[in-house]
Structure 1
Amino acid sequence: MPGKVADYLRTTELEGAERAALDQGMTVRRGQGYTLRVSAVPAVHRRLLARCQPLDGGQGLPAVPAQHKARREYENRVSALAP
């Protein structure tokens, strides 16, 4: 999970399984940012992805290009997971 997505999700209300997955993730430094390695079942990743929908700039909020790209990368990784 890209760091910008993880940072956003840490500021939102999450369910117990989602919060636990985020808290148990391992941070890996990547250049200027970081990646959070999260071990969870695909259903948890899909719920986390749904919760970071506002990063796309919906609901009257401006889209920040870096956040939009991070969400899109996470969406690509989640869609590649087996159901």
Structure 2
Amino acid sequence: MTIDILGLLAEHLQNSPSATIRDALREGWAIRRRQGYSLPVTALLTLHQTMLGQCAALTGDGSTSAGRKAYRVYADRIATATRTLARCRAAASSWVGQ
């Protein structure tokens, strides 16, 4: 599944202890957006959720409003993808049962 991750989060994850995350980021390409950029990352939904968990530090005390917003946007994108996947699975299972 491909989900765009904002550049601020991608930069934070460049030093991730997980080689899988670093590899997923390396396969993306930067898309310039006004003041920043986004990076489309193709990975399993569980990897996107892991990446979001590693970015949680950007929402803590002393974090910037840009970091909190980037985290929130990525979390919303993952939540939307999760809901869409669940609906597709439900539709597929009801279709197979007919």
Could you state the TM-score of these two structures normalised by the residue count of structure 2? 0.75
Aligned-pair distance for 1:68? 0.6
Amino acid corresponding to residue 65 of structure 1 in structure 2: S
Tell me which residue corresponds to 1:4: 8
Structure 2: state its 5+ residue gaps.
Answer: 87-98
Q: Percent identity at matched positions?
A: 33
- How far the C-alpha of 1:11 sits from its partner, in A, is 2.8
Give the CA deviation at 1:30: 0.4
Higher helix share: 2
Q: Find the counterpart in structure 1 of residue 32 from structure 2.
A: 29
Query: Is the CA contact (8 Å cut-off) linking 2:13 and 2:21 kept in structure 1?
Result: no
The gaps in structure 1 that reach 5 residues or longer are: none
Paired residues, what number? Answer: 79
Structure showing greater relative contact order (alpha-carbon pairs closer than 8 Å, 6 or more residues apart): 1
- 1:47 aligned residue: 50
Structure 1 consecutive aligned stretches of length 4 or more whose deviation exceeds 2 Å: none
